[in-house]
Structure 1
Amino acid sequence: MDEDLSGMTREQLQDEVKKLRQAIREHRNCSGHDLCWHHPALWGLLPEKTDPLPVVPEWPEFLRGCIRYRQSLDEQVPDAPRSSEPYEE
Protein backbone atom coordinates (compact mmCIF):
# COMPACT_ATOMS: atom_id res chain seq x y z
CA MET A 1 0.00 0.00 0.00
CA ASP A 2 2.82 2.43 0.79
CA GLU A 3 5.30 1.16 -1.78
CA ASP A 4 5.60 4.68 -3.21
CA LEU A 5 7.64 5.69 -0.16
CA SER A 6 10.55 3.39 -0.96
CA GLY A 7 11.16 5.22 -4.24
CA MET A 8 11.27 8.68 -2.69
CA THR A 9 14.40 10.63 -1.95
CA ARG A 10 15.07 12.02 1.51
CA GLU A 11 13.92 15.45 0.32
CA GLN A 12 10.72 14.04 -1.18
CA LEU A 13 9.98 12.19 2.05
CA GLN A 14 10.52 15.38 4.05
CA ASP A 15 8.17 17.27 1.73
CA GLU A 16 5.56 14.54 2.11
CA VAL A 17 5.82 14.62 5.90
CA LYS A 18 5.47 18.41 5.93
CA LYS A 19 2.39 18.25 3.69
CA LEU A 20 0.76 15.58 5.84
CA ARG A 21 1.61 17.41 9.08
CA GLN A 22 0.02 20.58 7.73
CA ALA A 23 -3.16 18.71 6.83
CA ILE A 24 -3.27 17.06 10.26
CA ARG A 25 -2.81 20.46 11.92
CA GLU A 26 -5.65 21.96 9.89
CA HIS A 27 -7.90 19.07 10.92
CA ARG A 28 -6.75 19.26 14.54
CA ASN A 29 -7.43 23.00 14.68
CA CYS A 30 -11.05 22.60 13.66
CA SER A 31 -13.31 23.99 16.30
CA GLY A 32 -16.94 24.78 16.87
CA HIS A 33 -19.26 23.55 14.15
CA ASP A 34 -16.31 22.61 11.92
CA LEU A 35 -15.78 19.54 14.13
CA CYS A 36 -18.79 17.86 12.54
CA TRP A 37 -17.83 17.86 8.87
CA HIS A 38 -16.80 15.20 6.36
CA HIS A 39 -13.12 15.84 5.42
CA PRO A 40 -12.40 14.31 1.98
CA ALA A 41 -9.54 16.77 1.35
CA LEU A 42 -7.60 15.14 4.19
CA TRP A 43 -8.10 11.65 2.76
CA GLY A 44 -7.22 12.95 -0.70
CA LEU A 45 -3.62 13.28 0.49
CA LEU A 46 -3.27 9.50 0.47
CA PRO A 47 -1.59 8.03 -2.63
CA GLU A 48 -4.44 5.62 -3.36
CA LYS A 49 -7.05 7.49 -5.34
CA THR A 50 -10.35 6.06 -4.19
CA ASP A 51 -13.45 7.97 -3.28
CA PRO A 52 -15.37 5.63 -1.01
CA LEU A 53 -18.84 6.67 -0.04
CA PRO A 54 -19.29 6.71 3.71
CA VAL A 55 -22.02 4.65 5.32
CA VAL A 56 -24.34 7.29 6.74
CA PRO A 57 -26.41 6.34 9.80
CA GLU A 58 -30.13 7.02 9.77
CA TRP A 59 -31.07 10.29 11.48
CA PRO A 60 -31.91 8.94 14.97
CA GLU A 61 -28.67 6.94 15.14
CA PHE A 62 -26.67 9.81 13.65
CA LEU A 63 -27.99 12.26 16.26
CA ARG A 64 -27.25 9.77 19.06
CA GLY A 65 -23.68 9.63 17.78
CA CYS A 66 -23.46 13.44 17.70
CA ILE A 67 -24.71 13.63 21.27
CA ARG A 68 -22.24 10.95 22.38
CA TYR A 69 -19.39 12.76 20.63
CA ARG A 70 -20.32 16.00 22.40
CA GLN A 71 -20.50 14.16 25.73
CA SER A 72 -17.04 12.71 25.10
CA LEU A 73 -15.71 16.26 24.68
CA ASP A 74 -17.05 17.10 28.15
CA GLU A 75 -15.22 14.06 29.51
CA GLN A 76 -11.95 14.52 27.61
CA VAL A 77 -11.63 18.33 27.68
CA PRO A 78 -13.91 19.54 30.48
CA ASP A 79 -12.18 22.93 30.67
CA ALA A 80 -12.46 23.73 26.95
CA PRO A 81 -14.12 27.06 26.22
CA ARG A 82 -17.81 26.87 25.31
CA SER A 83 -19.65 28.69 22.56
CA SER A 84 -23.31 29.37 21.88
CA GLU A 85 -22.52 30.52 18.35
CA PRO A 86 -25.32 29.36 16.02
CA TYR A 87 -24.59 27.25 12.97
CA GLU A 88 -24.63 29.28 9.78
CA GLU A 89 -24.28 27.93 6.25
Structure 2
Amino acid sequence: MTSAARRHETFAQRNFRLIGEAAEIITGWPQVRERLRAVHVPDSDGRCRGCTSQTRRAPEWPCALTLVAHGEEPRRDFTNPAPASHRARLV
Protein backbone atom coordinates (compact mmCIF):
# COMPACT_ATOMS: atom_id res chain seq x y z
CA MET A 1 0.00 0.00 0.00
CA THR A 2 1.39 3.40 -0.91
CA SER A 3 1.80 6.18 1.62
CA ALA A 4 -0.82 8.25 -0.26
CA ALA A 5 -3.36 5.43 0.08
CA ARG A 6 -2.54 5.05 3.78
CA ARG A 7 -3.26 8.74 4.37
CA HIS A 8 -6.82 8.17 3.15
CA GLU A 9 -7.45 5.14 5.38
CA THR A 10 -10.06 5.38 8.09
CA PHE A 11 -9.07 4.29 11.59
CA ALA A 12 -11.06 1.07 11.13
CA GLN A 13 -9.33 0.31 7.81
CA ARG A 14 -5.93 0.94 9.37
CA ASN A 15 -6.72 -1.31 12.33
CA PHE A 16 -7.90 -4.15 10.11
CA ARG A 17 -4.82 -3.76 7.90
CA LEU A 18 -2.53 -3.91 10.93
CA ILE A 19 -4.34 -6.95 12.35
CA GLY A 20 -3.86 -8.67 8.99
CA GLU A 21 -0.17 -7.79 8.90
CA ALA A 22 0.31 -9.06 12.46
CA ALA A 23 -1.49 -12.31 11.57
CA GLU A 24 0.90 -12.81 8.63
CA ILE A 25 3.93 -12.27 10.87
CA ILE A 26 2.72 -14.58 13.63
CA THR A 27 2.18 -17.52 11.25
CA GLY A 28 5.90 -18.23 11.66
CA TRP A 29 5.56 -18.47 15.44
CA PRO A 30 3.38 -21.52 16.11
CA GLN A 31 4.00 -21.58 19.88
CA VAL A 32 2.95 -17.94 20.22
CA ARG A 33 -0.17 -18.59 18.12
CA GLU A 34 -1.15 -21.57 20.26
CA ARG A 35 -0.63 -19.63 23.49
CA LEU A 36 -2.78 -16.75 22.23
CA ARG A 37 -5.47 -19.22 21.17
CA ALA A 38 -5.41 -20.87 24.61
CA VAL A 39 -5.58 -17.61 26.60
CA HIS A 40 -7.91 -15.43 24.50
CA VAL A 41 -11.19 -17.31 24.92
CA PRO A 42 -14.66 -16.01 25.83
CA ASP A 43 -15.91 -15.92 29.40
CA SER A 44 -19.53 -16.46 30.45
CA ASP A 45 -20.32 -12.80 29.60
CA GLY A 46 -18.86 -13.05 26.09
CA ARG A 47 -15.75 -11.04 26.97
CA CYS A 48 -12.14 -12.09 26.38
CA ARG A 49 -10.49 -13.82 29.35
CA GLY A 50 -7.00 -13.02 28.06
CA CYS A 51 -7.45 -9.25 27.78
CA THR A 52 -7.16 -7.90 31.28
CA SER A 53 -7.01 -4.34 32.54
CA GLN A 54 -7.25 -2.68 35.94
CA THR A 55 -9.02 0.34 34.46
CA ARG A 56 -11.61 -1.06 32.03
CA ARG A 57 -13.63 -4.12 31.09
CA ALA A 58 -12.24 -6.74 28.78
CA PRO A 59 -13.28 -6.35 25.14
CA GLU A 60 -16.01 -8.49 23.64
CA TRP A 61 -14.72 -11.74 22.23
CA PRO A 62 -13.29 -12.30 19.67
CA CYS A 63 -10.69 -9.68 20.56
CA ALA A 64 -8.04 -8.40 18.15
CA LEU A 65 -5.47 -10.89 19.46
CA THR A 66 -7.88 -13.75 18.78
CA LEU A 67 -8.10 -12.58 15.18
CA VAL A 68 -4.30 -12.36 14.97
CA ALA A 69 -3.85 -15.83 16.47
CA HIS A 70 -6.30 -17.42 14.07
CA GLY A 71 -4.93 -15.72 10.94
CA GLU A 72 -7.21 -16.70 8.07
CA GLU A 73 -9.51 -18.61 10.42
CA PRO A 74 -11.41 -15.57 11.80
CA ARG A 75 -13.71 -15.94 8.82
CA ARG A 76 -15.21 -18.93 10.61
CA ASP A 77 -18.20 -18.36 12.88
CA PHE A 78 -17.06 -17.41 16.39
CA THR A 79 -19.53 -17.95 19.20
CA ASN A 80 -20.22 -14.39 20.36
CA PRO A 81 -23.31 -13.10 22.13
CA ALA A 82 -22.69 -9.56 20.81
CA PRO A 83 -24.84 -8.31 17.93
CA ALA A 84 -23.25 -8.94 14.53
CA SER A 85 -22.63 -5.21 14.01
CA HIS A 86 -20.26 -5.21 17.00
CA ARG A 87 -18.13 -8.21 16.06
CA ALA A 88 -14.56 -7.64 15.00
CA ARG A 89 -13.94 -8.84 11.45
CA LEU A 90 -11.06 -8.81 9.02
CA VAL A 91 -11.81 -7.26 5.65
- Asked which structure has the greater CA Rg, the reply is 1
TM-score for the superposition, normalised by structure 2: 0.29
**Greater relative CO (CA pairs within 8 A, separation 6+):** 1
